[in-house]
Chain A
């Protein structure tokens, strides 16, 4: 057995997949995590060419003449020196003005105005009291360029809320109990229901395996898509849950795990329950942890498995806004503005931190390319030494990446995520789910009897 740390390649490049509530991998650019070491480099000595050599062929000529010719030569050389200096100055000026240290803005593109509008609206929200339904609608609609009808959307949500309450009454659930409301919501997502009074049928929502990360079609992530097709994924399903919970005044929270989001709620004794909507099951926290991609530091920093406060949820909505914009247009300083706002509301929002880190990495790469430097080539990278602006950008990019790491983030590969999500269906998990399910039926019926 040998202690051998394997390392492929010379330069470590860090790739951070950006993730919306969960599942979006953006094509990422490589970025060096190291500040290059300059100490071995020699500065090219330009001055050699400028300072004239005064001790030369004049030896042997009479002193007066010699003086004159020296003076002439000095004069001439001085002129030449100034000229060269000016030329260099011009070169530098020309060089630095031609470099753009900011990513080109997309604000002249058609469609960005919807995003600006929603962003400005979101700034006005009360962070402790806002409508999840409205914010989410606005964010989706910005992507769809206002093609959606708010009234129609409101109507669907209202009808669904009414349906849920009607079903609760029919089942004689306590319509004041938070647990009963959440349990009914859970049933609404995972079971086929029918109202006895008018025969109205509701079918369960299903998981959509096709392009569940919205890589091809971003609107796959949307609640509006979920409502239209009755299929969704780990981004849209928890959001619809929250919207319906808001509609029927139930208390429920969003929570993150690697590449994933799910619902948490608590009973009267303060005990927490996790609902996994992608396959309609109650799950234990240990199941989340067993994915293998949650580090202790991530839990100590509260980035995963915590219930998000209203303000933290708003921060997550800013991340959604940014991701939609990135998907549609790309990275520019508007993305940074949104990410900064998200981080201001929730400094440990790892998804926002990733957007910020990616933004900085892409910006540095953009600048490096203008300087004719391939940033993933460590040797070429040394050439930025004369450019303090580029150095600062590189340092910032590295710092932002560092912050993501310090939060305890580890990238979860797509296959690992899929197999983990699939493992929910194992017999053992089903049994766990059944146990909690029966427990709930028991307690809810008990509250009924009391």
Chain B
């Protein structure tokens, strides 16, 4: 009897470890895909990058078919907007600006759709105030969740925006602020301007800096408010992958995390989240060291890492402050809205 229990336990154990191994394999595959995009830029696709990370977390259960269908629908809608609507913009980059405008409209506007002589209403993507940091479940940050529920946050909304821009054959630059991601575009008429998807407003830079957690050095060093290129955007996704891995395997030894961090930092040396995750992971590892001398030596190195993070201008922003700041864009709209972009006829 005892023997059988032991055997059953053994089988159960090996089955679960086999599952864990498979799961880990998915993360490794996703890492390889992202890494390939960095090595060979021709293989770059933000859409592929993002969904491979989400798929790894979802144990290979991401419904790619439905996602592709939805993205295709949204792209089609954008294209019909570009064709049918008038954009009062006269510079020679109008075709590109038109694409951005249509994606923006899809993200933030209610659009009437005429289909088989019936008028449908397309409702845009909204902001979900629940679990904006993905503490409850990482899925709250996912683009797949956004597509399904039409509600997202500062992580999924700009990601989807970028994906749609790329589907239309143009590009969008992600940009960082404390706890936040937004969009930057460079047009002939307006130069660099910001697009804030969580509230559908074009804020001026002073809004981002007014959060109170943006040190001057962080801006001049490009920690924040820098228009990230595609490679740097992949670095962002790499840290998503690492964060998801931590959520899935809380007791991991840190090897995979550090691999993601190193790759991301190589691409984007001032990437604060990657530098912090690396330092935190190292701290977890160092804590386990029993030998005092070795511990001291490694701990000193770690302190240097933290000092560097401070030096480049990073300051941590409490999470409750974040929501307050995000809302300030709506409550103090007149102060922070970019008045050069008379882009709204919104009440």
Chain A residues close to B by CB (< 8 Å) = 1-7, 10, 12, 33-34, 37, 285-286, 289-292, 294-297, 299-300, 302, 305-306, 405, 408, 410
Additional A-B contacts beyond A289-B210, A294-B205, A296-B225 (19; CB < 8 A): A1-B345, A1-B346, A2-B345, A2-B346, A4-B342, A4-B343, A4-B344, A4-B345, A5-B97, A7-B90, A10-B90, A12-B189, A33-B188, A286-B210, A296-B209, A299-B225, A300-B222, A300-B226, A302-B220
Q: How far is the CB of B271 from chain A (nearest CB, A)?
A: 15
Contact string against A for B residues 40-76, beta-carbon threshold 8 Å, 1 for contact and 0 otherwise: 0000000000000000000000000000000000000
Q: Are A292 and B206 in contact (CB under 8 A)?
A: yes
Size class of the contact patch on chain B: 35 or more
Q: Are A2 and B109 in contact (CB under 8 A)?
A: yes
Chain B residues within an 8 Å CB radius of A299:
216, 219-220, 225
A299 to B109, CA, bound (A): 33
- Identify which of B2-10, B100-108, B137-145, B275-283 touches chain A: B100-108
A12 to B89, CA, bound (A): 11
Given A5-B341, A295-B192, A299-B216, A289:B87 Cβ within 8 A: no
Q: How far is the CB of B29 from chain A (nearest CB, A)?
A: 36
Q: Find the B residue at minimum CB distance from A10.
A: B90
Query: Is B200 in the interface zone, CB < 8 Å from A?
Result: yes
Closest 6 CB pairs of A and B: A296-B225, A1-B346, A6-B342, A3-B101, A5-B89, A292-B206
Q: Are B220 and A300 in contact (CB under 8 A)?
A: yes
Q: How far is the CB of B53 from chain A (nearest CB, A)?
A: 27
A289 to B212, CA, bound (A): 11
Q: Find the B residue at minimum CB distance from A284.
A: B216
Chain B residues within an 8 Å CB radius of A2:
105, 109, 344-346
Q: List 30 A-B contacts (CB under 8 A).
A: A1-B108, A1-B344, A2-B346, A3-B104, A3-B105, A3-B109, A3-B344, A4-B344, A4-B345, A5-B87, A5-B97, A5-B101, A5-B189, A5-B341, A7-B88, A7-B89, A33-B188, A34-B92, A286-B216, A289-B210, A290-B206, A291-B206, A292-B204, A294-B205, A295-B205, A296-B205, A296-B226, A299-B216, A299-B225, A305-B216
A301 to B97, CA, bound (A): 25
Determine which residue in A3, A5, A289, A299 has the highest number of CB atoms from chain B within 10 A of its CB, and name it: A3
Chain A residues within an 8 Å CB radius of B222:
300
* Count of A-B contacts judged by CB separation below 8 Å: 96
What is the predominant secondary structure among interface residues of chain A facing chain B? loop
A1 to B346, CA, bound (A): 4
Q: Find the B residue at minimum CB distance from A5.
A: B89
Query: Is B91 in the interface zone, CB < 8 Å from A?
Result: yes
Contact string against A for B residues 174-197, beta-carbon threshold 8 Å, 1 for contact and 0 otherwise: 000000000000001101100000
Q: Are A5 and B342 in contact (CB under 8 A)?
A: yes
Q: Find the A residue at minimum CB distance from B101.
A: A3
Q: Are A294 and B206 in contact (CB under 8 A)?
A: yes
Query: Is B208 in the interface zone, CB < 8 Å from A?
Result: yes
Q: How far is the CB of A117 from chain B (nearest CB, A)?
A: 38
Contact string against A for B residues 95-120, beta-carbon threshold 8 Å, 1 for contact and 0 otherwise: 00100011011001100000000000
Q: Are A290 and B343 in contact (CB under 8 A)?
A: no
Q: Are A296 and B208 in contact (CB under 8 A)?
A: yes
Chain B residues within an 8 Å CB radius of A4:
87-88, 342-345
Within 8 A of A (CB), among B330-347: 335, 341-346
Given A1-B346, A4-B88, A34-B91, A296:B219 Cβ within 8 A: yes
Q: Find the B residue at minimum CB distance from A289.
A: B209
Within 8 A of A (CB), among B144-198: 188-189, 191-192
Chain B residues within an 8 Å CB radius of A5:
87-89, 97, 101, 189, 341-343
A16 to B91, CA, bound (A): 19
A12 to B216, CA, bound (A): 33
Determine which residue in A5, A294, A295, A302 has the highest number of CB atoms from chain B within 10 A of its CB, and name it: A5
Chain A residues within an 8 Å CB radius of B342:
4-6
A290 to B336, CA, bound (A): 10
A114 to B151, CA, bound (A): 69
Q: Find the B residue at minimum CB distance from A37.
A: B92
Q: Find the A residue at minimum CB distance from B207.
A: A292
Chain B residues within an 8 Å CB radius of A34:
91-92
Determine which residue in B90, B109, B224 has the highest number of CB atoms from chain A within 10 A of its CB, and name it: B90
Chain B residues within an 8 Å CB radius of A3:
87, 101-102, 104-105, 109, 343-344
A410 to B335, CA, bound (A): 17
Chain A residues within an 8 Å CB radius of B343:
3-6
Given A5-B87, A7-B90, A290:B189 Cβ within 8 A: no
Chain A residues within an 8 Å CB radius of B189:
5, 7, 12
Given A3-B87, A6-B88, A295-B192, A285:B109 Cβ within 8 A: no
Q: Find the B residue at minimum CB distance from A272.
A: B216
Chain B residues within an 8 Å CB radius of A408:
192
Chain A residues within an 8 Å CB radius of B204:
292
Q: How far is the CB of A273 from chain B (nearest CB, A)?
A: 13
Q: Find the A residue at minimum CB distance from B193.
A: A295
Q: Find the A residue at minimum CB distance from B212.
A: A286
Q: How far is the CB of A4 from chain B (nearest CB, A)?
A: 6
Contact string against A for B residues 304-347, beta-carbon threshold 8 Å, 1 for contact and 0 otherwise: 00000000000000000000000000000001000001111110
Chain A residues within an 8 Å CB radius of B90:
7, 10, 12
A292 to B346, CA, bound (A): 23
Q: Are B192 and A286 in contact (CB under 8 A)?
A: no
A10 to B88, CA, bound (A): 11
Determine which residue in B200, B208, B342 has the highest number of CB atoms from chain A within 10 A of its CB, and name it: B342
Q: How far is the CB of B101 from chain A (nearest CB, A)?
A: 4
A4 to B220, CA, bound (A): 32
Q: How far is the CB of A101 from chain B (nearest CB, A)?
A: 27
Chain B residues within an 8 Å CB radius of A12:
90-91, 189
A299 to B222, CA, bound (A): 9
A305 to B104, CA, bound (A): 34
A297 to B173, CA, bound (A): 14
Given A1-B200, A7-B189, A300-B220, A289:B206 Cβ within 8 A: yes
A313 to B212, CA, bound (A): 30
Chain B residues within an 8 Å CB radius of A285:
216
Q: Are B101 and A289 in contact (CB under 8 A)?
A: no
Chain A residues within an 8 Å CB radius of B88:
4-7
A285 to B104, CA, bound (A): 33
Chain A residues within an 8 Å CB radius of B97:
5
Q: How far is the CB of B107 from chain A (nearest CB, A)?
A: 10
Chain B residues within an 8 Å CB radius of A294:
205-206, 209
A437 to B310, CA, bound (A): 26
Chain B residues within an 8 Å CB radius of A1:
108-109, 200, 344-346
Q: Are B210 and A290 in contact (CB under 8 A)?
A: yes
Q: How far is the CB of A429 from chain B (nearest CB, A)?
A: 15
A286 to B216, CA, bound (A): 8
Chain A residues within an 8 Å CB radius of B344:
1-4
Chain A residues within an 8 Å CB radius of B341:
5
Chain A residues within an 8 Å CB radius of B225:
296, 299-300
Q: How far is the CB of B166 from chain A (nearest CB, A)?
A: 19
Q: How far is the CB of A45 from chain B (nearest CB, A)?
A: 29
Q: Are B209 and A286 in contact (CB under 8 A)?
A: yes
Q: How far is the CB of A193 from chain B (nearest CB, A)?
A: 32
